[in-house]
Amino acid sequence: MIVATTSGTDISVAHTQTCDVVIVGSGPAGAAAARTLSRAGASVVVVEEGGVANSGETDGFTAMADLYRDMGASVTSGRAPSPYVQGRAVGGGSVVNGAISWRLPHGVHQEWLRSDGALEQTLDWASLEAITTQIERDLNIAPTDPSLAGPNNLLLARGAEALGLAHRPIARNVRNCEGRGQCLQGCPIGAKMSMDLTYLRDAADQGARIVSSCRAQRVLVERGRVRGIQAIAEGGGQVTVHAERVVLAASAIQTPLLLMDSGLTQGPVGRYFQCHPGISVTGRFADPVRMWTGATQGHEVTGLVSEGIKFEALGFDMAVLASRVSGVGSALASGIADFAHLATWGAAIRAEAHGRVQRGWWGTRRVRFDMTPHDALRVRRGVSVLGKMLLAAGADWVALGVHGWPDRIHSSQELDRFAHEGPRDLRAYASVITHMFGTCRMGSRPEDSVVDPRGQHHHVKGLYVVDSSVFPTNTGVNPQTSILAVATALATAMVSS
C-alpha cells in the first residue's frame, strides 16, 4: 500500500502546522531522514512538491508528465546542453528509477576523507557499511534473478564476456518482480521497493505527516535560527510549517535554489555541481530482443568503473522508444516495425567537471555544466566499447548516434577507428544526466562548504541538508543506496545532538 498523504490539491486556504522537524523532499534522502527521526520520537512533517504515483499500468509519456519534473526535459546550459532527469512525486526518484543499488565505493569514501578528515565524525566507513547492510535488508536488495533478466540483459552479459570485461546481474531493490520492464514509469504492481511503499510508510506508522503537491518556497529564519518553512499548495493555499529543525532533501538542484530563495547564499551554495552524464548506443539483432520486457535494468558491466565508465542495459517503454527512431514517413514506419530487434545499452560517465546551479531570469532554474576534455575522452571510449559489446553479442549493426559518423557501423575495426578518431567536441554526442551531486557540499570549512560534517548549515542553527547535494564528489555509480546511507547517518547524528 502506498503511503497516505494530505494532498495539497485540497488546500485552498492558509494552512499552518507545527512539528519538531519539517523535511522538504520525500525521495530517498528525505524518506530516510523521516524514518530515522520519527522512530526516535520526533514529530515530523514531510513536504513534497509532487503527487502520489497512481498504481496500475501507464505508458511512458503519461508517467513522464505525472512523475517527472518538466516531463524529464530539464536542460543544462553550456557548450553542449544536456537534459537532466528528476523524479517529482511522493518517493522522489525512487518511484521512477531502475531500482539499481550500489554501496558507496570505498575509494570514493577515501577521496572524501582525504579532502576533509572531519567528515569521518559522521561518515566513518564502519558505520556507513553497517547502515547499508540494514538498507539492503529493508529493501530486499539482491542480484537480478536470471529468469527475469530477459534477452536485453542477457545479451549484455554475452557481449561483456566476449570482450573479457567484468560484469554481473544488477542488485535491485525489488520484491516479487515480474520483469514487466516498467520501472521508469513507476512499477504498476508495486514490486519496486520505492520510498512511498517503504521508508515513508514506516515514518507514517510512527506518526509522520506527509503533505503532497505542496512546493516549499522559503526557509524561515530568525536571528540565525531556523523557524520553519513556507510553501504553496497546489490548491492555492499558503502552507506554513513551524519547526525547530528544518531538513532539506529536495535534490542537488532544488535544495540550493531553495536556500537562495531564502536569502541563504553564504558559502558555495549552488557551486561544485557534479553528475554522471549518460550516453547510449543501439544495436540491431536478428532475433527479437523486446527491450521493453524483462528487468528494466538487470545487468551491468563493471570492468571499466575504475576508469570512470559504468555500463548498463537500458529498457524503454515502446512510446518512449518510438521517440528515438529517426526519419519520417516510410523510413519512420520501417524503424518502428523493427522495434523488437533493437537493444540499447548505456554508459554512465564519472565526469570530473564542476558546474553551477543558479536562479536565472524571471526565477527560472539555470544549471550550467560543461564537461572537460578528459570527460570527452571517456565519453568517446564509452561509445566505442558499447558498440563493440553489441557486435560481440551478435548485433548485425550498431548506431552510435554521433554526429558526423555513419548511421550504421558493422565492424569492430570501424569502432577501433572511432576510438582514436571520434570527435572530442561533446556537441557531437547525445547525453542525459540522471545523478546529481555537490551543490551544498559538507565540510568543516565554511568558506568551501555549505553544511558542516553533521549536515547542519554553517550559518543557521537547526537547518540541515541530507541529500546528494552534500556529497563532496560524485560517486561513479548509481547513488540511491549511498544517499539513503548518508541521510540515515546524518539524521542519526541529528538525534544525538
Q: Which residues does the annotation mark as catalytic? A: 435
Residue 411 corresponds to which cell in the numbers above? Answer: 565492424
Cα 45 to Cα 47: distance, rounded to the nearest angstrom: 6
Rg of the Cα atoms in the chain:
22
Q: Specify whether the CB–CB gap between 37 and 44 falls below 8 A.
A: yes
The C-alpha angle 194, 195, 201, rounded to 5 degrees, equals 125
Q: Angle at CA 57, nearest 5°, toward 53 and 62?
A: 65
| DSSP, residue by residue, 341-378 | GEEEEEEEE-----EEEEE-GGG-EEEE----HHHHHH
Residues β-bridged to residue 355:
273
Contact indicator for 422, 429 with CB cutoff of 8 Å: no
Closest CA to 265 of 459, 473, 24: 459
Residue 188: other Cβ atoms inside 10 A: 17
Largest CA distance in the chain: 69
- Contact by Cβ (8 Å): 152, 315: yes
Helix or strand run (H / E) with residue 274: strand 271-284
Which amino acid belongs to residue 212?
A: S
In angstroms, the CA 175 to CA 268 distance is 41
Strand partners, 368: 77, 356
The single-letter code of the amino acid at 442 is M
Contacts 24+ apart (CB under 8 A), 196-199: 196/2, 196/3, 196/26, 196/52, 196/53, 196/89, 196/90, 196/91, 196/94, 196/95, 197/1, 197/2, 197/3, 197/91, 198/31, 198/138, 198/139, 199/28, 199/31, 199/32, 199/34, 199/35, 199/138, 199/484
Planar angle of CA 26, 297, 478, nearest 5 degrees: 50
Say if residue 394 is exposed, middle or buried (CB neighbours under 10 Å; 0-12, 13-18, 19+).
middle
> How far, in Å, CA of 100 to CA of 183, rounded?
10
Alpha-carbon separation of residue 318 from 153, 277, 302, 413 (angstroms): 17, 23, 28, 32
